[in-house]
Structure 1
């Protein structure tokens, strides 16, 4: 007899004779359940909502670039989606299961580069990059006053030690929007406002600026305020 040769490939299921009786323990008529308790169900629902927000945000960004959605509608919808995204991830269990945006998108094979960038920045593109406005509208005294008050409010908050992310981020977002209503022109340190918005957006709600960061932030905002006043005066 010839010695039995070892196969160089894995045998197919048909080449193996089962030594036990095959039986099905799955009821095909029974609905498959992803969650076994309420906590798991809530978690999966939240993660599903985050997935939906990312895909919707990406579609919204594409629509805005194609002028398929009005600027006001885009700004309102984008702001709401970003807020919903952050709200879902404030839950510790959801945040833990989510991990981070890059790993989540990779795990679920999501091709949403525009949504990734918008979430990174944390504000609508209409806020980050203002559209052109008529000179008469930009020169309205009450609009300039509103932007000036936003600068003063933010600087006062920093001076008294309010350096929490959940305090500074909304003040800074309100500031850039007020400034954009006044002018779409670049001025000294305007870009710093957006950079700090991105920095704060990446921080957790409970985080604070370090002493060094707070000093740098205050300096940049003072420079931006001076640049804004010079731009308006000119």
Structure 2
């Protein structure tokens, strides 16, 4: 019968590679937990949008970096959270779309500018954002790290136009594309049919946006 020494340290890893992997998984775990607390603090108005937004962007970027270091070890966020009993639905949703809530839904458009000036500025920004992304697609650009930031800017600009109807279809379609892109690696490229579909969606949404402007 073999006796077990209860005072003996149990090694979770046997080499430097395994130790680095374990450290990266611990980092991933802590990022998800911190992001969950941040999301709940914002939902409960415990922090302002100006405090929330940069912290959320940083945590999302840190999550992507930690995930890329783990590669195939953690291929799926939901499986990782289930395996380690992580109950963080708000963090999971934020990671899935890849942008702060202030970008997805708007931040109130706080500014010292008169409301008329703000509205004109945000409309101009939205038009420019639409044109920028559509021009990128027309030029054949389709890498995730090229398209995603501009698509996020478009979403934020669109949400800053406060008089735009809440059910404007462009928001839902942009959210779908952001989620799709965020689920891909930064170096991945959209397929030709995906670029064509995104261009069609954006042109349709831009036409609807211009139609709404003309009706005002």
Aligned residue among 30, 34, 37 for 1:59: 37
Q: Distance between the aligned counterparts of 1:119 and 1:223, measured in 2? A: 27
Contact 1:130 1:180 in 2 (8 A): yes
State the 1:174 CA deviation.
1.7
Report the 3-state secondary structure (helix = DSSP H, G, I; strand = E; otherwise coil) of the residue aligned with 1:111: coil
Q: Distance between the aligned counterparts of 2:66 and 2:163, measured in 1? A: 33
Aligned residue among 107, 114, 118 for 2:90: 114
**Greater radius of gyration (CA):** 1
Match of 1:192 in 2: 173
Match of 1:45 in 2: 23
User: Which runs of 5 or more residues in structure 2 are unaligned?
Assistant: none
Q: Distance between the aligned counterparts of 1:166 and 1:90, measured in 2? A: 14
Q: Distance between the aligned counterparts of 1:101 and 1:188, measured in 2? A: 28
User: Which runs of 5 or more residues in structure 1 are unaligned?
Assistant: 1-19
Match of 1:223 in 2: 204
| Structure 1 position 71 matched with structure 2 position 49 | yes
Contact 1:82 1:122 in 2 (8 A): yes
State the 1:125 CA deviation.
1.5
CA RMSD of aligned residues (A): 2.3
| Structure 1 position 214 matched with structure 2 position 169 | no
Q: Given the two structures, how large is their TM-score scaled by the length of structure 1?
A: 0.79
Report the 3-state secondary structure (helix = DSSP H, G, I; strand = E; otherwise coil) of the residue aligned with 1:90: helix
Match of 1:12 in 2: none
Contact 1:188 1:228 in 2 (8 A): no
| Structure 1 position 145 matched with structure 2 position 124 | yes
State the 1:23 CA deviation.
4.8
Aligned length: 209
Q: 1:113 to 1:211 in 2, by over 3 A?
A: same
Report the 3-state secondary structure (helix = DSSP H, G, I; strand = E; otherwise coil) of the residue aligned with 1:185: coil
Render the CA deviation track for 1:175-221: whole Å, top value 9, x for unaligned.
Answer: 21223233362334232111111111112223222222211110111
Aligned residue among 127, 148, 160 for 1:169: 148
Which is worse superposed, 173-182 or 67-76?
A: 173-182
State the 1:140 CA deviation.
3.4
